Amino acid sequence: MPVDDELIDRMLSGEPSDEEATAFEQWLKNPANLQRFALRAELHSDLRQSLRRRQIQTNALGASNAASEIIPGSTKQNHQQSLIRSPKRVLAIAAGLVTAACLLIAFIRPHRDDQSTSEDRVAASVVRNVGGLLTKGDQQWDDPQLPMGDYELRKGLLNLRFGGGVMVYMEAPARFDAVSDRRVVLHSGRLSATVPPEGIGFTVETPEAEVIDFGTEFSIDVEGGASEVHVFDGLVRVNPGASNQRDASKSVDLHASEAVRISGGASDLIGISVETNRFIRNFDEPRLNYARAIKRLSPVAYYRMPIRDRGLVSEPPEYSGVVLTGDGKRPAHAKGVFAGGSLRVGVDSIGRGGRVDSPPAFNTGRFSLTAFVYLEAPAHSAMVATNRDGDRGNFSLSLNKNGTLQTTIVMDEAMSPAATTVVDKATSPLTTGLVTTSTIGNSVLPQKTWRHIVVTADGEQLQIYEDGKLVASTACAEMASSDSETVWFGTDAKATQVWDGRIDEVALFNRALNEAEISTLYRTAQEEIARSR
């Protein structure tokens, strides 16, 4: 059966008969015919309308019986078999062919211009560089265009745009080879990619596997002789093994909320739980209902902890501060409780907290603090937020020596009933003469879980809420005034109580939030978290 442009167009539209589809499969076995089909597919004006992204994702699997089911802790694989002949397979065949065409085009494009060298061909462009130090051949690379070649991201974060509008987010330290505008080799580090339909076929190769995208959002972590692939939306195909040792029969397809780990030298993939909190997948802090809900409550300062290279950003901006850094290998930013970023402190990062030298005054006798906190590892006597430094300042929120949340305020001595005074010198050394009160939560803060924390002091009770529920309350008097004392996030003034995880969405108030407001905040946050996963 002769194959002309009309038949190719019908294939791209999913309209041929079963007999034509069978003949077309045979025709495509010739590489020259496959290239012709690929170029025709690229020019086909109705491609996106005929085969939407979801059809490509779902029907590409239906083209064979090799679809694999990945569940945490196990991997099921089936060898490819002959296609079942039925009218339903026509669109699946077309979808698979379009995907193949996209992949072929990715490899054809770099060879179209024989006059230019690989160093001249641009593989990607820099969208944003947040405190990043990028090198190429041991020389710092500051050009916004990245030619093909090997690179190392030694510090900070990098947002790159590849061909087809593919957005890639890299976190230092990372070493990668930009092979083309459709292919990256990630030797080590973390990478996240958001791939639109135009970018289908974008490929990331690691020492342990090849990951081919079908229009999706995914992350890859290469470290310690193993590669992990986490899929958050859509579909990717994972071909395990080094580039010269891959066995197509071992390939698996991962859908949203699935993840695998491939160890060096192993051909089998191990299903693992997808991790939504490990990877930075967007540098932007989106407009969220939670942020709007906070602003409606009129905070005096609001720190959303966005990913920025200009410090600790506040709303309003006059109360902004600086991000403190030190030794470590990862940036002082991590994925936030929602999309966007958070302040990363301790762990293996360079982050050592934040400092605001000109914060608002807290002098109304009333106070509230809201924040999201995330522990990476067991911690004790670690600070969330405070303006205490000896006899200066009037509030703190921290973990005590038992790993339980504790909040302390300094009270107006003239109004403070002696019965309410609690002094914990082990976690908060006090200058003689200060009158303080503390209240302590009822459980150890869990690890690797975002917890919504609210502290309120209304002149009668000092309270702690965790995830919208009141967990501790102590009688108190009005909080003593403090005029613009330095505020620290994730550390204390002496840098002895350093947090070990992340802090996000911190808001400070010169009034006490009520129970209904706190409940509404937490409910709104839960809705946002569900949408951002």
Instruction: Let me know if residue 172 belongs to a domain.
Output: yes
Q: Which residues pair with 362 in a beta bridge?
A: 482
On whether the CB atoms of residues 364 and 510 are closer than 8 A, the answer is yes
The CA–CA distances, whole Å, from 142 to 129, 131, 146, 311, 506 equal 10, 12, 9, 21, 34
CB atoms within 10 A of CB 317: 7
The CA–CA distances, whole Å, from 47 to 105, 194, 399 equal 15, 21, 57
Write down the pLDDT at residue 414. 60
Amino acid at 258: E
Residues 519 and 404 reside in one and the same domain? yes
Residues 299 and 218 reside in one and the same domain? no
Residues of the chain with pLDDT under 50: 45-53, 60-61, 63-92, 94-95, 105-116, 418-432
Instruction: Let me know if residue 322 belongs to a domain.
Output: yes
Task: Report pTM.
Answer: 0.75
Residues 184 and 306 reside in one and the same domain? no
Residues 213 and 350 reside in one and the same domain? no
Instruction: Let me know if residue 465 belongs to a domain.
Output: yes
On whether the CB atoms of residues 198 and 165 are closer than 8 A, the answer is yes
Angstrom distance (rounded) from CA 532 to CA 285: 12
DSSP code for 322? E
Residues 196 and 325 reside in one and the same domain? no
Write down how long the chain is: 533
Domain-ending residue, one of 244, 272, 300: 272
Strand pairing category for 451-457 and 367-375? antiparallel
Domain with residue 177: its CATH number is 2.60.120.1440
Domain-ending residue, one of 210, 245, 272: 272
On whether the CB atoms of residues 478 and 511 are closer than 8 A, the answer is no
Residues 243 and 304 reside in one and the same domain? no
Residues 303 and 250 reside in one and the same domain? no
Using alpha carbons only, give the angle 251, 256, 259 rounded to the nearest 5 degrees: 55
Domain with residue 445: its CATH number is 2.60.120.200
| Domain coverage including residue 206 | 122-272
Instruction: Let me know if residue 110 belongs to a domain.
Output: no
Q: What is the 3-state secondary structure (H, E, C) of 378-441?
A: CCCCCEEEECCECCECCEEEEECCCCEEEEEEEECHHHCCHHHCCCCCCCCCCCCCCCEEEEEE
Residues 257 and 337 reside in one and the same domain? no
Quote the tokens at residue 120: 């001249």
Angstrom distance (rounded) from CA 171 to CA 158: 7
Instruction: Let me know if residue 25 belongs to a domain.
Output: no
Domain-ending residue, one of 272, 297, 318: 272
Residues 266 and 347 reside in one and the same domain? no
Residues 339 and 218 reside in one and the same domain? no
On whether the CB atoms of residues 436 and 423 are closer than 8 A, the answer is yes
DSSP code for 533? -
Give the DSSP H/E element, type plus range, for residue 531. helix 515-532
Write down the pLDDT at residue 484. 82
Instruction: Let me know if residue 114 belongs to a domain.
Output: no
Give the DSSP H/E element, type plus range, for residue 487. strand 487-489
Closest CA to 352 of 493, 244, 451, 459: 493
Q: Is 41 left (phi over 0), alpha (psi -120 to 50) or beta?
A: alpha
On whether the CB atoms of residues 159 and 199 are closer than 8 A, the answer is no
Quote the tokens at residue 304: 């959303």
Write b or e for each residue in 58-95: b if 16 or more Cβ atoms lie within 10 A of its Cβ, otherwise e: ebbbbbbebbbebeeeebebeeeeebeeeeebbbbbbb
Q: Is 263 left (phi over 0), alpha (psi -120 to 50) or beta?
A: beta
Instruction: Let me know if residue 84 belongs to a domain.
Output: no
Tens of pLDDT, residue by residue over 106-121, are 444 444 444 445 556 8
Angstrom distance (rounded) from CA 330 to CA 83: 47
Quote the tokens at residue 324: 């403190």
Instruction: Let me know if residue 455 belongs to a domain.
Output: yes
Residues 268 and 294 reside in one and the same domain? no
Q: Is 234 left (phi over 0), alpha (psi -120 to 50) or beta?
A: left
CB proximity list for 435: less than 8 A, separation 6 or greater: 410, 411, 412, 413, 416, 421
Angstrom distance (rounded) from CA 152 to CA 386: 37
Tens of pLDDT, residue by residue over 329-362, are 999 999 999 888 999 999 889 999 999 999 999 9
DSSP string, 51-96: S-HHHHHHHHHHTSS---EEETTEEE-----PPP-STTHHHHHHHH
Count of domains observed in the chain: 2
Residues 312 and 262 reside in one and the same domain? no
Q: What is the 3-state secondary structure (H, E, C) of 103-156?
A: HHHHHHHHHCCCCCCCCCCEEEEEEEEEEEEEEECCEECCCCEEECEEEEEEEE
DSSP string, 205-252: E-SSEEEEESS-EEEEEEETTEEEEEEEESEEEEEES-TTS--GGG-E
